[in-house]
Structure 1
Amino acid sequence: MSESILTRKQLGELGERLAAAYLEQNGYQIHGRNWRCRTGEIDIIAMEGKVLVFVEVRTRSGRSTFGTPQESVNYKKQLQVMETAQWYIHRFQLQSLQPRFDVVSVLTDKAGQLVKLDHIQNAF
């Protein structure tokens, strides 16, 4: 039986599912996934206690010569996530909550099996 190769979209969806499961196992309450507005998308929105956590998930498969998944969250992406988070906070009247921006990096093998998951709190 040969290993199947995941498409980029399938790999991203797998990474987000793995990240959400990890967060839930660690006491986070997931409030939303793939929330979109005109400024962009937030992969996962969760609560940890009284902290509103906006999570950017980055997934890669196999060995990469392009650095770690978390290194791909550049300044431009950080600004987009922060601007989208502001829309979310305003839209749902959540100004009383403390926001935080985390990155979860997921590394899988070519068949989609989890190799490593890193959760970076207060990533930016």
Structure 2
Amino acid sequence: MRELHAGGAYNRKAKGAAAEAAAALYLASRGYTVVEANWRCRSGELDLVAEYQGALVIIEVRSRSGSPLPGTPEESVDARKIRQVRSTAEVYLHMKGEQERTVSFDVISVQLNPDLSVAALRHIREAF
């Protein structure tokens, strides 16, 4: 069994999975239907894709856990990340034949405790 090392890849994956699971549960509790998680193609990955009130919602999940980095998790969604998510979403829509769907882009920010439980969760609708 691998050890969890602070800042290590295994630890980062566990944190990401915990944040995405918390985001999916939160969305389901608000009436969203998650249709994809971690959808990948050459241009990148979509963390979560959900349906809500007839629209397709692409959700970027960002997390922190006792990180020394300044700022909030959602502040890490910069112009480069927005371009990458939008580009990947275009591929997704084309591959799924959903080009005519109304699409919005949300961010869910998750602050994790050291045990990976959720300390805080913030949903920013139509973030970009």
Aligned to 1:92: 96
Three-state SS of the structure 2 residue aligned to 1:30 is: strand
Instruction: After superposing the two structures, state which structure 1 stretch, 37-46 or 62-71, moved more.
Output: 62-71
What TM-score do the two structures reach when normalised by structure 2? 0.90
Aligned to 1:111: 115
Moved over 4 A (4+): none
Consecutive unaligned residues of structure 2, counting only runs of 5 or more, are none
Aligned length: 121
Consecutive unaligned residues of structure 1, counting only runs of 5 or more, are none
Instruction: After superposing the two structures, state which structure 1 stretch, 60-69 or 87-96, moved more.
Output: 60-69
1:64 Cα deviation (Å)? 4.2
Is residue 72 from structure 1 mapped to residue 76 from structure 2 by the alignment? yes
Aligned to 1:40: 44
Aligned mates of 1:110, 1:56 — CA distance in 2: 22
1:108 Cα deviation (Å)? 1.1
> Percent identity among equivalent residues?
42
Is residue 101 from structure 1 mapped to residue 105 from structure 2 by the alignment? yes
2:24 to 16, 20, 26: 20
What TM-score do the two structures reach when normalised by structure 1? 0.92
CA offsets per residue over residues 56-83 of structure 1, 9 Å max, x none?
0001112644210000011000000000
Instruction: After superposing the two structures, state which structure 1 stretch, 89-98 or 58-67, moved more.
Output: 58-67
CA offsets per residue over residues 8-48 of structure 1, 9 Å max, x none?
11000000000000000000001100000110000000000
Aligned mates of 2:116, 2:63 — CA distance in 1: 10
The structure with higher relative contact order (CA 8 Å, sep 6+) is: 1
